[in-house]
Amino acid sequence: MSTIDYSYIRDIMHEINDTSHIRIEDIPEYKLYISQMEELFDKKLGSIEELDDDKKVISKTMIQNYIKDGLVMPPDGKSYNKNHIILLIFIYNLKSILTIKDIKKLLFPIINIAQSNEEKMDIIYENYIKVREKFTDKYIENFIDAATNIYDDFKTEELAKEWPEESNIIFIIFLLVLQADMCKKTAEYLIDTCLHDD
């Protein structure tokens, strides 16, 4: 049975982390129109190619729906400030795991701050990025260590005879999905039991 190339998995995880968030210094101090926000998100988080509306990282329709749902405050006229962008980044990072209802419940205290205090939002976001960076580095190393140990216990000479090359990647994917499922369910439980509706 051939071994898993953990350096390859590690590199993928680091690359995903590096390209899946917007740093505070990348957020303009000046106000943006909705088309400029679409451009910012696509440039920092999406593809270089021209994207259709349904493939955009964030679209005008999405932003308008988030405003209707109370996840983002309405623009000042037609322009959006840094607090709007920070809230949209949080939503972008949460929406693949949580429902809009759960995101609203989770972000409720932050939405209140965003409506009135840009300085506090900067601090919240800077701390979020710091925690994310620290956590991601530790998470990647812990995941690789755990996967290595589980794989060593899992493999046997008997199994090796029937073990195709691609099964190494299947093994890693199963571990990632099992972990994602546990994390998702734990997050949903905490939202339901520890956070109050607005």
| pLDDT tens digits, 78-120 | 999 999 999 999 999 999 899 999 999 999 999 989 988 878 9
Domain residue ranges of the chain, discontinuous segments joined by +: 6-194
pTM for this predicted structure: 0.83
Q: What per-residue string of b and e applies to 30-61 under the rule 16 or more CB within 10 Å gives b?
A: ebbebeebbebbbebbbeeeeeeeeebbbbee
Given this model, what pLDDT does residue 1 score?
41
